[in-house]
Structure 1
Amino acid sequence: MPIQKLDDHVINQIAAGEVVERPASVVKELMENSIDAGATFIEIEIDDGGKELIQITDNGSGIEPGDFALVFERHATSKIQDLNDLQNVLTMGFRGEALASIGSVAQVSILSRINNQQNGLRIVQIATTITDPEPVAMNAGTIVSVEGLFKNVPARYKYLKGAATETRYITEIILQHAAAHPEIHFRLVAANKVKIDYPATADLLSRSLQVLGVKDADLLIPITYNSQDMQIHGYLGKPQTALKNRNKQYAAVNQRPLNLPFVNHAIKDALHTLIPHNLFPIFLLNIEIDPTAVDVNVHPRKLEARFAYQQFVYQKVKAAVAASLEKHVLTAKLEFGSERTMPSSFTRRDHTPLRQPTVNQALAFNESFSKQVMPEISIQPIAQIDNAYIVGIDSEGLVVIDQHAAHERVMYGRIQEARAKYKQESDKMGQQLLTPLEIELDQSEKAILTEFAEATKIIGFEFNLATDPVQLMAVPSPIQKDDLEAVVRGLISDLQETQTSGVNFKDLEMRIERVINYTACRSAIKFGQSLTIEDQKALIAKLDEVESNYTCPHGRPTRIRVTFKDLEKQFGR
């Protein structure tokens, strides 16, 4: 077959394969045209998930009468004029290919009127036929209707999902743009029912509550960073709002919604142990940056961007989130009348069979805490419940402390402090045992210790794996020397579980972090251990000394609060 130039309609259908993936792609492109036209109200109406009808109505500036002849032409745009404009893009669209691509795979009609005209104009494209513009009475703005998407391309149409699924995709696209543009009123009507109605607001908090689906503003933390190079504004959900998926993570650059994995990582890294590793924070974040420092022309559907200084942006986002977390109380609040008061991953988990503590263990705990001058503590303990929870009181109300999670956070902090000192002073972090402890281990248990040998050694463990039984020679300095075998066996069990779960920790720092987490958990006091009032005060005092003490290293809450106001409400006062 000889080389030949493709017909324009074929070219547009090929381009549509990149630009128009499904009804949500059409909604995205048309909404962005409305945003670029300065609209403050955008209504999206769909039928059958957008397969039968997509209609976008806005109150933007409209299309100039003289421009109607070019609306369906490829690469015809009012957004840019030359290469310099492409390097300084501030508009949502800039390629001039959306309407041409959509018009090649659907029937499209456009009605538009500018403010100083008495009537608007209407133009229709059906396949390769484009009608002449004709006058029409209408309000100022633009209405674009797309009917029968992919009906003329059966191979594409058969891959579309059901109406509910396609509507869900469209809803997500609208939420992304609503998050980036609180100044615009967005409305979605699906099958003649209003699904979304977000009035315009100058208050980013109000839009964050709408988009993130959070009813209580106290559950959101403001994120702010201002410098000459960059501004960051948004809201982050407190740990108890974390989800099992990334559905409520909205990031925008210069009010352009983008998929920014490194921003997601920056926020998760700032939260560190405040949420479990299998949960994801909810957030709405807008980043303002010099447009010449970000290239948005790297993805067919403009979903991604390339930054000139990505590491700089990562560091600033992480720092802004960390700074905000330090300023806010993160204690989980007990919600009355709720089926669930915390994420399911916070449920009690017993790693080892419950044993009553020996006298030596209890004394070791008392020696480490109680034989010190007691500082002022934030929570005054009242009683211990079920040998598992400490009930206390502070100026705001009742506080229930999970004794294991609280002590786990304390141990985690102490091990991290010892490691930091070890790095600075080149001291040995481990404390040598006067007599090596012999532990019978099978081959799989020895293998896991071999695999994590460097990480365990760095935090202070020292094993002689050449002997049988294995000899434990040293342990991290913060750990009490009682029941060390249980600590080691628990650590091995946790590392084996991590290995079988498919999590890959190639990075040494990740391995060290995981070993510290597990060691803190296994060396902490257990459920079932009876604590005197003095023990409870000592634990609270140590917890007060630890930064980010609202959760254990696994992300479970160390305490839950019931305010006096909540109690008064429940008792009808």
Structure 2
Amino acid sequence: MSKINVLDKHIAELIAAGEVVERPASVIKELVENSIDAGATAITVEIKNGGITYMRVTDNGSGIARDDVAAAFLRHATSKVHSQDDLESISTLGFRGEALASIAAVARVELLTATQGELAGTRYEIDGGVEQDCEDAGCAQGTTFVVRDLFYNTPARMKFLKKDVVEANAIAAVMDRLALSHPEISVRFIRDSRETLNSPGDGKLKSAVYAVFGKEFTAGLIPTEYEWNGVKLWGFISKPSAARPNRSMQHFFINGRYIKSRTAMVALEEAFKGSLMVGKVPACVLHMGISFQAVDVNVHPSKIEVRFINEKPVFDAVYHGVKTALHSGDVPSVMAFQKPEPPVFEQPKASVQIQFTAPAKPADSQSPPVIPAVRPAAAPVHGFAVSDAHRPTFHTNFSAANIEFTEPVPVPEDDHPSASVMPEPVAGEPVQSAVLGVTPIETPASEEAEKLVGEAFNTYMILERGNELIFIDKHAAHERMLYEKLRAQEGQADQQMLLEPVAVTLEKNEYAAVMNSLDLCAAAGFEIDDFGSGTVLVRSVPLILGDDDVAGTVMEIAGYLQSAKNDITTEKLDWLYHNVACRAAVKAGDVSSPMELSALAKRIENEDIRYCPHGRPVSIVMKKKDLERQFGRIQ
């Protein structure tokens, strides 16, 4: 009996559709690419329920002729490839002729289209690959696709779809790339009856970037334009100061097609070497123009991965183009001081008599002058408090329209305020560290078991205890302290309100992950609001974090939340504690005073801190005998 069975045409189409249509975003991508190939200058996309129940794509392109409508839904039917030679230089976004057939096989599709000069348009309906109706219809030139009930006839595929908000964000990402890839096309995206994107279509890439990512992201960009060895490069790169913690905002396009290229990514980051902090990567919106014969886009069904005949010209163009832009565009900020205006003195009125009266001399010439009992409170001068005894005083008497000025009390030459940055501690009081924020537990000198010897490389504290030397990583130790403090607050971290809310632009999937985890962020001490269009507004941060690099912290959190989809809440919260503690802790290389190091050492001793939150040891011990053995004092 034969074991090989020829599949039914309908089953074969359902299987083939899975390679092209994975989710609603796949449908939108294929349809808008057809609109672009049709010469559209305006494209509108509307979805409901994440696109699962309703998607509509409207364009003003060339339309489809009545005679071609039914054939357009046949597998491998296309107007973009006529011979084998055409595959060697593909200039259109679509070319396989599989999209419409795949979409129609797993959804209910309605088409409205009209070409220039036709008296009437065409309405065509097809469900699950079976034609239902074809009739005349009144419509403007262009094409409208309405796709309903995706995967209604393939429940196995339906159950693998994500939540509506996740699917909608995937479509939003496709629309963002469309607007960035073709700034000459006006792109409009309506999500559950709310417009979330509307690009002007004026042909200016900066306008498209502004429409997609907003003002804050656009302000941190440097324009780039370069040509090298047949590769033309143009677009924008981020300033080093606007670098990000992940690559989610790196966008590359070749001949108007969004791609993922490791060659371009490595060239970009190599060009930024020496300009970025460790752990940061640049963002970009870069277009590359290259000969169609030099790139193969027929590598993967998604057409995102491409293959170059020669990768070196692409690498060189990106590398040198970005280097040139950084050299000319990354201008350091200039600090300017405004020259103060001279004081303006008003002339006294004629009716006022001014008398300068010297104070009466005391009976005993050796006794100090009498200081009036009422005078202004002491005020800091250049950061130091001036004692009342040394303050110049001004005594006024307006009883007879006379103004009397009392001579200031002279200050002894050797009694000026101290210029010390840190005041001397008062005996018997614990010392509060200004930088590390730790207060040691007071211990009598006779009971001290450890002695601070010093610090190596502004990173490792060195303590002497009996016959041992203890080396302590101050960052790891301080990080552990802060981490334990956050954990002790049990999800109710102390917050501080920012003077000005910080707007942070995120990639659409990261933005969705943050919006779905607002309660989790609040438990870690972050108050975050939705600012719309992929941007969040940070109003409060954990008290221990301060207001340093708030945007960078939120970007890292967003990247983690987007990638850690399967982690339980406690694991996510623990990661947030790790991140906040690491950022707030004193850094390796920071200069610390002996007082701060001593305070930290006492906290370590009293709290028995051994490991940082990431598992690295806080301290290591060297025995005196091991040191003496190295010097040959003992065998």
TM-score range, shorter chain: 0.5 to 0.7
Kindly report which structure 2 residues correspond to 1:40-51, keeping only aligned pairs within 5 A, or say none: 40-51=41-52
Q: After TM superposition, give the deviation of residue 332 of structure 1 in Å.
A: 6.8
Q: Which runs of 5+ in 1 are unaligned?
A: 335-383, 388-482, 498-520, 530-573
| Rounded Cα–Cα distance in structure 1 between residues aligned with 2:40 and 2:238 | 30
1:94 matched to which residue of 2? 95
Q: After TM superposition, give the deviation of residue 60 of structure 1 in Å.
A: 0.3
Check if 1:315 corresponds to 2:316: yes
C-alpha contact 1:212 1:248 (8 A) present in aligned 2: no
1:222 matched to which residue of 2? 223
Check if 1:298 corresponds to 2:304: no
Matching residue's letter, 2:47: I
1:125 matched to which residue of 2? 126
Matching residue's letter, 1:222: P
Q: After TM superposition, give the deviation of residue 207 of structure 1 in Å.
A: 1.6
C-alpha contact 1:212 1:282 (8 A) present in aligned 2: no
Question: Secondary structure of the equivalent of 2:273?
Answer: helix
Question: Secondary structure of the equivalent of 2:184?
Answer: coil
Q: State the structure with more CA Rg.
A: 2
| Rounded Cα–Cα distance in structure 2 between residues aligned with 1:210 and 1:144 | 25
1:59 matched to which residue of 2? 60
Question: Secondary structure of the equivalent of 1:314?
Answer: helix
1:197 matched to which residue of 2? 198
Deviation readout 1:361-411 (Å, 9 max, x if unpaired): xxxxxxxxxxxxxxxxxxxxxxx9979xxxxxxxxxxxxxxxxxxxxxxxx
2:499 matched to which residue of 1? none
Q: After TM superposition, give the deviation of residue 252 of structure 1 in Å.
A: 0.6
Check if 1:244 corresponds to 2:215: no
Matching residue's letter, 1:294: V
Q: After TM superposition, give the deviation of residue 333 of structure 1 in Å.
A: 9.7
| Rounded Cα–Cα distance in structure 1 between residues aligned with 2:305 and 2:208 | 23
Distance 1:333 1:297, change over 3 A: farther
Deviation readout 1:328-376 (Å, 9 max, x if unpaired): 2354799xxxxxxxxxxxxxxxxxxxxxxxxxxxxxxxxxxxxxxxxxx
1:262 matched to which residue of 2? 263
1:486 matched to which residue of 2? 457
Count, aligned residues: 361
Distance 1:93 1:493, change over 3 A: farther
| Rounded Cα–Cα distance in structure 2 between residues aligned with 1:300 and 1:484 | 59
Which gives a bigger RCO, structure 1 or 2 (Cα 8 Å, sep 6+)? 1
| Rounded Cα–Cα distance in structure 1 between residues aligned with 2:256 and 2:250 | 15
Structure with the larger helix share: 1
1:31 matched to which residue of 2? 32
Deviation readout 1:473-527 (Å, 9 max, x if unpaired): xxxxxxxxxx995379699979999xxxxxxxxxxxxxxxxxxxxxxx97x7846
Question: Secondary structure of the equivalent of 1:280?
Answer: coil
Deviation readout 1:34-74 (Å, 9 max, x if unpaired): 00000000000101000001110000000022211211100
Matching residue's letter, 2:457: A
TM-score by length of 1: 0.59
Check if 1:21 corresponds to 2:30: no
Q: After TM superposition, give the deviation of residue 112 of structure 1 in Å.
A: 0.6
| Rounded Cα–Cα distance in structure 2 between residues aligned with 1:230 and 1:333 | 36
Distance 1:220 1:243, change over 3 A: same
TM-score by length of 2: 0.53
C-alpha contact 2:197 2:212 (8 A) present in aligned 1: no
C-alpha contact 1:238 1:330 (8 A) present in aligned 2: no
Q: Which runs of 5+ in 2 are unaligned?
A: 336-418, 423-453, 462-470, 478-586, 595-635
C-alpha contact 1:240 1:332 (8 A) present in aligned 2: no
Q: After TM superposition, give the deviation of residue 245 of structure 1 in Å.
A: 3.1
Q: After TM superposition, give the deviation of residue 311 of structure 1 in Å.
A: 2.8
| Rounded Cα–Cα distance in structure 2 between residues aligned with 1:310 and 1:496 | 43
Matching residue's letter, 2:146: S
| Rounded Cα–Cα distance in structure 2 between residues aligned with 1:181 and 1:97 | 23
Question: Secondary structure of the equivalent of 1:44?
Answer: strand
| Rounded Cα–Cα distance in structure 1 between residues aligned with 2:117 and 2:592 | 75
Question: Secondary structure of the equivalent of 2:274?
Answer: helix
Question: Secondary structure of the equivalent of 1:156?
Answer: helix
Distance 1:171 1:128, change over 3 A: closer
Q: After TM superposition, give the deviation of residue 15 of structure 1 in Å.
A: 1.5
Deviation readout 1:404-434 (Å, 9 max, x if unpaired): xxxxxxxxxxxxxxxxxxxxxxxxxxxxxxx
Kindly report which structure 2 residues correspond to 1:100-139, keeping only aligned pairs within 5 A, or say none: 100-139=101-140
C-alpha contact 2:185 2:203 (8 A) present in aligned 1: no
Question: Secondary structure of the equivalent of 1:273?
Answer: coil
Question: Secondary structure of the equivalent of 1:272?
Answer: coil
Distance 1:287 1:528, change over 3 A: farther
Deviation readout 1:205-232 (Å, 9 max, x if unpaired): 2222223334475421011112461110
Distance 1:332 1:126, change over 3 A: farther
| Rounded Cα–Cα distance in structure 2 between residues aligned with 1:90 and 1:333 | 47
Deviation readout 1:66-98 (Å, 9 max, x if unpaired): 211211100000011111111100000000000
1:370 matched to which residue of 2? none
Q: After TM superposition, give the deviation of residue 157 of structure 1 in Å.
A: 0.6
Q: After TM superposition, give the deviation of residue 279 of structure 1 in Å.
A: 2.9
| Rounded Cα–Cα distance in structure 1 between residues aligned with 2:249 and 2:148 | 30
Distance 1:131 1:207, change over 3 A: same
Distance 1:332 1:51, change over 3 A: farther
| Rounded Cα–Cα distance in structure 2 between residues aligned with 1:25 and 1:277 | 36
C-alpha contact 2:244 2:283 (8 A) present in aligned 1: yes
| Rounded Cα–Cα distance in structure 2 between residues aligned with 1:525 and 1:295 | 51
1:283 matched to which residue of 2? 284
C-alpha contact 1:239 1:330 (8 A) present in aligned 2: no
Q: After TM superposition, give the deviation of residue 199 of structure 1 in Å.
A: 1.5
| Rounded Cα–Cα distance in structure 1 between residues aligned with 2:195 and 2:309 | 41
Check if 1:170 corresponds to 2:141: no
| Rounded Cα–Cα distance in structure 2 between residues aligned with 1:232 and 1:262 | 14
| Rounded Cα–Cα distance in structure 2 between residues aligned with 1:267 and 1:47 | 38
Question: Secondary structure of the equivalent of 2:144?
Answer: strand
1:434 matched to which residue of 2? none
C-alpha contact 1:267 1:321 (8 A) present in aligned 2: yes
Matching residue's letter, 1:129: V
Q: After TM superposition, give the deviation of residue 247 of structure 1 in Å.
A: 2.6
Q: After TM superposition, give the deviation of residue 127 of structure 1 in Å.
A: 1.7
C-alpha contact 1:235 1:283 (8 A) present in aligned 2: yes
